């Protein structure tokens, strides 16, 4: 039999300095969540397929790692924490009665197609706030996002916030069919302005609706985007969505974090469970967002306890990559003392090591090799 | 200021792109030298970098942020299916993705008999036959001279790019159906679009005005 010395594609060993840096980073982030009064939670690595099924609206079924148990149930390695934590919250808490904030750390598994240089196992750390529909909750989550990035050591980053109801209400007003909506969603997500324009011309919508949809791909940027978003539609639900973002922005100013925030009305996640704000955090030298999050008020309904919720997750590997490429990782000092002893000095060596260790100092005990004296 | 990096598709698309960029005052003298063996070219003044890559690799470079901006054909974008912002239709390189074959294959296309489709673009062909025509076909991936396949009996039809149609005509083939129109597109990495918002928007605005 051929002996195997490497791991399968998409998973890897993490050792030495990198492992230490990763653990340290995770600790810094968890500390942020603790300071915001959140409770830590662990959920199982695999769950029933239904938790991540199509109705929940997480990643496509073919990208899930699936297997069977002895009874023939389909099980799935979690691709995303939000459905798991929501399920657990619905089982053990009463979020509709009193809000709960839970944070988690763990591995997630997505069966990406091969040869794309994407890890199939990534570490995520994140937080979910259940039972709080207020703009204050949204703002607090965004404040935590900013603090996590600051705690990690990043200096240049941006948090981009959208509101899915803006797009959804325009679609409802236009009365577009499901297929067109899908196409439009795709085009807007790709910021394909001319594509939207062409599609709208085909559909022969009233001019004000055509203009509104065509504006969506470029409707992003600083605070003035809110005014522009207000000016292109009279749809009440859409205007309420803008108002919500304004409110969140104002609350974030009280935290002093508004300078990190920008807006993007063309941001439409592939996770269909989002129902309100949706946000991504970006920095230089990574091709993808570091943090993804949003509000999902309908998800807990699937688990029997309807409650509004908002949360975000950080992909640790992406954040570490950004920190290392931007040269922001502080080298770790190894302060371990080594005590080298001959068999005759054992009692003395162990006494000394225990003394140092109980004083909190790292000590490595090493027995001298037998043989001629050096 | 950081460098903005462009990934251009080797060949005709690259020279047309450089002409267009030249019109809005973006030039790269280092690239004019045809004999150079360098892989990356820099415009220090504007803080821009350029490199040439094979078409299908351009979306990959841009998706992962190794390049901020790319210029590539719509056919490649459809085939590769990457997560990118597709911000501008540059208009040049216009052609069509078509189902082609001999006249005799037209009838076969509308029956439920076994149909073999040879193509360089299996994803586009799959999407078209399975999801738009709701028809089961056998796909055969080839890497060039696709027109050969129906002539020698490897497949009944092909899915390929048609520009003028003269190669088809010379070989007794014809366009049977049009899948979609194609042209060169400018694509942008999702993160770059946010982090370098002003520079990239300005670039798009100028390019759009010059088209």
Which residues in chain A touch residue B191, judged by CB atoms under 8 angstroms apart? 282-284, 286-289
For A190, which of B86, B189, B194 is closest by C-beta distance?
A: B86
Q: What would the pLDDT profile of A168-205 be if each residue is shown by its tens digit? A: 999 999 988 888 998 899 999 999 988 998 898 888 88
Per the CB < 8 A criterion, the answer to whether A151 and A29 are in contact is: yes
CB interface of B with A, residues 152-181, below 8 Å: none
Tokens coding A191: 């910021």
Give the separation between CA A165 and CA A237, rounded to whole angstroms: 7
The region that residue A304 occupies, defined by phi over 0 for left and psi between -120 and 50 for alpha, beta otherwise, is left
Parallel, antiparallel, or unpaired: how do β-strands A220-221 and A100-109 relate? unpaired
Q: Which domains does chain B have, with CATH numbers?
A: 4-93+183-210 (3.40.190.10), 95-180 (3.40.190.10)
A63 touches chain B (CB under 8 A): no
Distances (CA, A) of B95 to A206, B15, B76, B204: 31, 18, 13, 23
- Write the burial class of residue A285 (CB in 10 Å: 0-12 exposed, 13-18 middle, 19+ buried): middle
A82 touches chain B (CB under 8 A): no
Distances (CA, A) of A340 to A79, A112, A291, A335, B35: 47, 49, 46, 16, 63
**Dihedral of alpha carbons A275, A281, A287, A288, sign:** negative
B91 touches chain A (CB under 8 A): no
For the beta carbon of residue A361, count every other beta carbon within 10 angstroms: 12
For the beta carbon of residue A29, count every other beta carbon within 10 angstroms: 24
Check residue A62 and give its pLDDT.
87
**Across-strand partners of B85?**
B188
Check residue A117 and give its pLDDT.
75
Tokens coding A284: 């230089």
Distances (CA, A) of B57 to A162, B32, B161: 31, 22, 18
Please enumerate in sequence order all residues whose Cβ is within 8 A of that of A134, keeping only pairs 6 or more positions apart, or say none: none
Per the CB < 8 A criterion, the answer to whether A315 and A124 are in contact is: yes
Give the separation between CA A269 and CA B176, rounded to whole angstroms: 37
Per the CB < 8 A criterion, the answer to whether B187 and B85 are in contact is: yes
Greatest distance between any 2 Cα atoms in chain A: 94
User: The tokens 């009838």 sit on which residue?
Assistant: B107
Give the separation between CA A351 and CA A344, rounded to whole angstroms: 13
Parallel, antiparallel, or unpaired: how do β-strands A100-109 and A39-40 relate? parallel
Size of interface A-B (CB pairs under 8 A): 53
Give the separation between CA A43 and CA A47, rounded to whole angstroms: 9
B195/A287 touch (CB, cutoff 8 Å), yes or no? no
Give the separation between CA A368 and CA A371, rounded to whole angstroms: 9
No. of helices (H) and no. of strands (E), chain A: 11, 14
Tokens coding A346: 């054992």
Per the CB < 8 A criterion, the answer to whether A161 and A262 are in contact is: yes
Q: What is the pLDDT along chain B (211 residues), one digit of tens a residue?
A: 889 999 999 988 998 999 999 999 988 887 777 777 888 999 999 999 999 999 999 999 999 999 999 999 999 999 998 989 999 999 998 999 999 999 999 988 888 788 999 999 999 999 999 999 988 899 999 998 999 999 999 999 999 999 999 999 999 999 999 999 999 999 999 999 999 989 999 999 999 998 8
Give the separation between CA A205 and CA B16, rounded to whole angstroms: 35
- Write the burial class of residue B12 (CB in 10 Å: 0-12 exposed, 13-18 middle, 19+ buried): exposed
Check residue A1 and give its pLDDT.
63
For the residues of A273-286, what is the DSSP string, one character each? T--SEEEEEEETT-
Give the separation between CA A251 and CA B90, rounded to whole angstroms: 42
Q: Which domains does chain A have, with CATH numbers?
A: 16-325 (3.30.930.10), 337-367 (no CATH)
Which of A154, A118, A161 is closest to A319 using CA atoms? A154
- Write the burial class of residue A299 (CB in 10 Å: 0-12 exposed, 13-18 middle, 19+ buried): buried
Per the CB < 8 A criterion, the answer to whether B184 and B90 are in contact is: yes
B65: nearest CA partner in chain A: A287
A284/B195 touch (CB, cutoff 8 Å), yes or no? yes
Residue ranges, chain A, pLDDT below 70: 1, 271, 371-374
For the residues of B69-81, what is the DSSP string, one character each? EEEEEHHHHHHH-
User: The tokens 């492992």 sit on which residue?
Assistant: A19
Which of A357, A337, A335, A354 is closest to A346 using CA atoms? A354
Check residue A372 and give its pLDDT.
62
B84/A190 touch (CB, cutoff 8 Å), yes or no? yes
pTM (2 d.p.):
0.86
Angle at A159 between CA A156 and CA A160, to 5 degrees: 135
């Amino acid at each position: 039999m051929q002996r195997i010395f490497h791991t399968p594609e998409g998973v890897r060993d993490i050792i030495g300095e990198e492992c230490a840096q990763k653990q340290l980073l995770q600790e810094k982030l968890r500390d942020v969540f603790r300071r915001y009064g959140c409770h830590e939670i662990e959920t199982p690595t695999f769950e029933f397929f239904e938790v991540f099924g199509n109705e929940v609206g997480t990643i496509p079924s073919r990208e899930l790692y699936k297997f069977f148990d002895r009874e023939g149930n389909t099980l799935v390695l979690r691709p995303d924490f939000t459905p798991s934590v929501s399920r657990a919250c619905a089982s053990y808490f009463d979020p509709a009665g009193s809000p709960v904030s839970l944070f988690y750390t763990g591995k997630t598994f997505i069966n990406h197609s091969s040869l794309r240089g994407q890890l199939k196992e990534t570490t995520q750390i994140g937080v979910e706030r259940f039972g709080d529909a207020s703009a204050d909750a949204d703002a607090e989550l965004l404040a935590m996002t900013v603090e996590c990035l600051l705690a990690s050591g990043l200096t240049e980053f941006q948090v981009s916030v959208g509101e899915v109801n803006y797009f959804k209400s325009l679609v409802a007003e236009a009365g577009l069919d499901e297929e067109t909506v899908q196409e439009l969603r795709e085009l807007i997500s790709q910021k394909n302005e001319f594509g939207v324009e062409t599609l709208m011309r085909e559909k022969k919508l009233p001019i004000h609706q055509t203009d509104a949809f065509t504006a969506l791909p470029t409707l992003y940027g600083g605070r003035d985007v809110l005014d522009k978003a207000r000016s292109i539609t009279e749809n009440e639900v859409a205007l309420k969505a803008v108002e919500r973002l304004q409110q969140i922005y104002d609350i974030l100013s009280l935290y002093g974090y508004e300078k990190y925030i920008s807006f993007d009305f063309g941001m439409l996640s592939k996770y269909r469970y989002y129902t309100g704000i949706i946000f991504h955090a970006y920095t230089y030298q990574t091709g993808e967002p570091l943090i993804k999050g949003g509000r999902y008020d309908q998800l807990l309904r699937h688990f029997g306890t309807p409650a509004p919720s908002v949360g975000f997750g950080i992909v640790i590997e992406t954040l570490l990559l950004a920190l290392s490429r931007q040269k922001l990782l502080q080298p770790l000092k190894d302060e371990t003392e080594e005590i080298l002893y001959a068999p005759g000095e054992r009692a003395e060596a162990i006494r000394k090591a225990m003394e140092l260790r109980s004083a909190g100092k790292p000590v490595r005990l090493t027995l001298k090799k037998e043989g001629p004296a050096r | 200021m950081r460098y903005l990096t462009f990934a251009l598709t080797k060949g005709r698309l690259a020279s047309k792109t450089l002409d267009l960029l030249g019109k809005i005052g973006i030039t790269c003298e280092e690239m004019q030298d045809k004999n150079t063996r360098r892989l990356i070219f820099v415009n220090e003044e504007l803080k821009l970098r350029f490199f040439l890559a094979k078409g299908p690799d351009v979306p990959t470079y841009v998706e992962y942020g190794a390049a901020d901006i790319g210029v590539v054909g719509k056919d490649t974008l459809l085939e590769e299916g990457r997560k990118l912002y597709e911000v501008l239709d540059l208009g040049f390189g216009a052609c069509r993705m078509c189902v082609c074959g001999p006249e005799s294959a037209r009838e076969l296309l509308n029956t439920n008999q076994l149909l073999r489709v040879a193509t360089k673009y299996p994803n586009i062909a799959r999407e078209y036959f399975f999801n738009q025509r709701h028809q089961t076909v056998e796909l055969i991936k080839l890497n060039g001279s696709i027109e050969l396949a129906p002539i020698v009996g490897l497949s009944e039809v092909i899915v390929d790019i048609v520009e003028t149609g003269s190669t088809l005509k010379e070989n007794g083939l014809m366009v049977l159906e049009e899948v979609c129109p194609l042209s060169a597109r400018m694509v942008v990495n999702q993160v770059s679009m946010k982090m370098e918002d002003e520079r990239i928007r300005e670039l798009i605005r100028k390019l759009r005005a010059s088209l």
